[in-house]
């Protein structure tokens, strides 16, 4: 049986645990923050006039489906390729400049209790890291703002002379790739994985949770909640910042507004990484 605890209970427990050579790894979307960081970046991209409203809604719906049903290796690779090709011709600097707008949206959506948990780990001697499928650059900036010890994120694509070529390169940190990244970091830094913690909301992060000695699921999706019961993993419940939408509600709302951006703004609890869709085609 899994053990359901509050944020305060988790803080007290980890403060009492000896640190050993452990670290703590945090998924970003719906774990450290409400909703999707990629969606907030996509909104910033839309505000900058780099994509249309129709594109924003279309990519939001595609990524909702991706989130709800998960993805195998082939689907994850197809998404990685789509992300890279959508950036062809985009200057790295132009994308980086959108980070300020995105951070203005992301920071108010952080769960204060999760930050307290992360800082308690640090005070107990455990380094803390973001581990996310979102872009490495955004993960690093957010990690610095939150005073984390590091961040592991995805490569967006190949860069030549400051411009994205449209060719994929590097790792896309989804599913098992997160576990591999954690294991590689642990080997490099000398962390004892049995003394490490990992936090996530999604069944796609089961490999990351299984890679450490102390897996904790946070406001889990139904599949992860079921797995947590089977494995006896701790379940951490946080107060929701808004009403959780059902799948039916998502689809009905999206159809009713006929693709208006207003519908997308209601979907932040269920969207995942909308990784800068088709930026190079709106000039």
Asked if 50 and 59 count as a contact pair (C-beta separation under 8 A), the reply is no
CA 80/CA 66 separation, integer angstroms: 13
| Both structure tokens of 238 | 């946080």
Helix (H, G, I), strand (E, B) or coil at 24: strand
Choosing from 3, 29, 59, 223, the catalytic residue is: 29
| Both structure tokens of 268 | 């932040």
State yes or no: is 221 an active-site residue: no
State yes or no: is 59 an active-site residue: no
| Cα angle: 64, vertex 253, 202; to 5 degrees | 25
Choosing from 27, 201, 205, 221, the catalytic residue is: 27
CA 204/CA 173 separation, integer angstroms: 11
Helix (H, G, I), strand (E, B) or coil at 142: helix
DSSP characters for 95-116? HHHTHHHHHHHHGGGB-HHHHH
| Active site positions, annotated | 27, 29
């Amino acid at each position: 049986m899994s053990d359901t605890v509050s944020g305060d209970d988790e803080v007290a427990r980890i403060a009492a645990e000896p640190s050993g050579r452990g670290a703590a790894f945090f998924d970003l979307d719906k774990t450290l923050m409400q909703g999707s960081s990629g969606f907030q970046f996509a909104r910033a991209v839309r505000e900058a006039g780099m994509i249309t409203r129709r594109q924003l809604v279309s990519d939001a719906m595609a990524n909702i489906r991706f989130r709800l049903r998960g993805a195998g290796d082939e689907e994850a690779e197809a998404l990685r390729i789509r992300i890279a090709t959508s950036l062809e011709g985009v200057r790295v600097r132009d994308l980086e400049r959108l980070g300020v707008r995105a951070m203005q949206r992301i920071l108010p959506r952080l769960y204060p209790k999760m930050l307290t948990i992360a800082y308690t780990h640090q005070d107990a001697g455990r380094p803390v890291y973001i581990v996310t499928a979102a872009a490495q650059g955004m993960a690093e900036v957010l990690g610095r703002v939150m005073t984390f010890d590091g961040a592991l994120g995805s490569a967006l694509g190949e860069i030549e002379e400051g411009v994205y070529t449209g060719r994929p390169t590097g790792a896309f940190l989804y599913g098992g790739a997160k576990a591999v990244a954690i294991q590689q970091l642990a080997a490099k830094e000398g962390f004892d994985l049995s003394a490490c913690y990992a936090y996530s909301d999604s069944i796609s992060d089961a490999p990351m949770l299984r890679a450490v000695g102390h897996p904790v699921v946070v406001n889990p999706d139904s599949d992860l909640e079921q797995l947590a019961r089977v494995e006896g993993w701790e379940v951490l419940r946080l107060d929701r910042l808004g009403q959780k939408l059902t799948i039916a509600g998502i689809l009905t709302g999206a159809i009713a507004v006929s693709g208006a951006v207003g519908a997308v703004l209601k979907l932040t609890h269920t969207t995942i990484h909308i990784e800068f869709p088709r930026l190079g085609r709106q000039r």
